């Protein structure tokens, strides 16, 4: 990745830093299999389950042995980038502090879908199907494809564009409900992972800290879940009612329903 980043770094007169957490997701036992073969399809399906929040699904033989390990490595690298960007800010033309990472297609795509607040299903499910059926012709994220996100590690990330395609901040109710579910099932998995990591140290204080942090994160996620679901449904109902009042045809009403619920345009 350092060689890939070198031309851009030279253009910006910056020195690239290597973060191992940004490495591509290893294929493990699927490595070397054709994209369209059983191994390639299982690799893609594993990444898809991770993106939907089922991080415990294993990637046999890979250093990223499951989605929890991958999320831990990649998110720590992103947090390092964010802290460095604040300490040594580079302000882009739009006035925002910006940082750039170079990684592989699978790592960038999976982490983005797993962490973005708005992974629009109407956009990404068709892309995934095309990538599985015709990987050479329609890669999910092509080489040199750019993914742009805004946000921070604490408040979360909003996906701005994916390979040049603008992503709506409001992707529809179906996507939002899936994100709500994703956000309530991932903290328990990460808490168990961190607790096991702490137990392997044999340090009682480390174990207690991991347990306390896990209980807090899981409790916060469970408490937030009904609020998020009710808020998302209420938002759609309110906007649908406004559209019903403003539109005078059945087709227009159907279009409004498709847009608000499924994110269709």
pLDDT tens figures, 203-253: 999 999 999 999 999 999 999 999 999 999 998 888 877 766 666 555 555
Give the residue from 166, 201, 223 where a domain finishes: 166
Distance CA 31, CA 9 (A): 30
Give the residue from 166, 194, 217 where a domain finishes: 166
pLDDT at 132: 87
- Indicate whether 141 and 205 sit together in one domain: no
pLDDT at 12: 77
Distance CA 249, CA 51 (A): 38
- Indicate whether 11 and 128 sit together in one domain: yes
Q: Against a cut of 0.85, is the pTM above it?
A: yes
In the chain, the number of structural domains is 2
Which residues does residue 31 pair with via DSSP β-bridges, in sequence order? none
- Indicate whether 221 and 242 sit together in one domain: yes
Give the residue from 138, 166, 194 where a domain finishes: 166
- Indicate whether 154 and 257 sit together in one domain: no
- Indicate whether 189 and 107 sit together in one domain: no
pLDDT at 21: 95
- Indicate whether 77 and 114 sit together in one domain: yes
- Indicate whether 82 and 119 sit together in one domain: yes
- Indicate whether 98 and 156 sit together in one domain: yes
Q: Dihedral through CA 127, CA 132, CA 134, CA 139, nearest 10?
A: 50
- Indicate whether 252 and 224 sit together in one domain: yes
Give residue 187's domain range.
173-262
Q: Which two tokens stand for residue 257?
A: 């329903």
- Indicate whether 109 and 215 sit together in one domain: no
- Indicate whether 156 and 194 sit together in one domain: no
pLDDT of residue 24 exceeding 80: yes
């Amino acid at each position: 990745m350092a060689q890939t980043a070198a031309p851009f770094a030279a253009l910006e007169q910056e020195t690239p830093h290597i973060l191992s957490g940004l490495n591509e997701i290893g294929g493990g036992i699927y490595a070397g299999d054709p994209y369209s073969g059983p191994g390639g399809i299982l690799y893609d399906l594993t990444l898809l389950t991770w993106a939907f929040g089922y991080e415990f699904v294993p990637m046999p033989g890979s250093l990223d042995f499951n989605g929890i390990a991958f999320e831990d490595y990649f998110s720590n690298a992103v947090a390092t980038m964010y802290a460095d960007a604040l300490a040594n800010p580079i302000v882009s033309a739009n006035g925002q502090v910006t940082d750039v990472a170079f990684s592989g297609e699978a790592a960038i795509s999976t982490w983005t879908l797993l962490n973005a607040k708005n992974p629009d299903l109407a956009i990404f499910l068709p892309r995934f199907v095309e990538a599985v059926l015709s990987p050479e012709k329609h890669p999910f994220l092509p080489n040199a494809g750019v993914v742009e996100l805004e946000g921070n590690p604490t408040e979360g990330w909003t996906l701005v564009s994916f390979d040049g395609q603008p992503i709506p901040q409001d992707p529809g109710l179906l996507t939002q409900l899936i994100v709500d579910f994703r956000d309530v099932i991932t903290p328990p998995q990460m808490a168990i992972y961190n607790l096991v990591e702490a137990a392997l140290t044999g340090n009682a204080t480390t174990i207690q800290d991991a347990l306390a942090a896990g209980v807090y994160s899981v409790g916060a996620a469970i408490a937030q879940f009904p609020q998020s679901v009710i808020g998302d449904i209420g938002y759609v109902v309110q906007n649908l009612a406004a559209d019903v009042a403003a539109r005078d045809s059945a087709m227009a009403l159907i279009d409004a329903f498709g847009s608000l619920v499924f994110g269709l345009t």
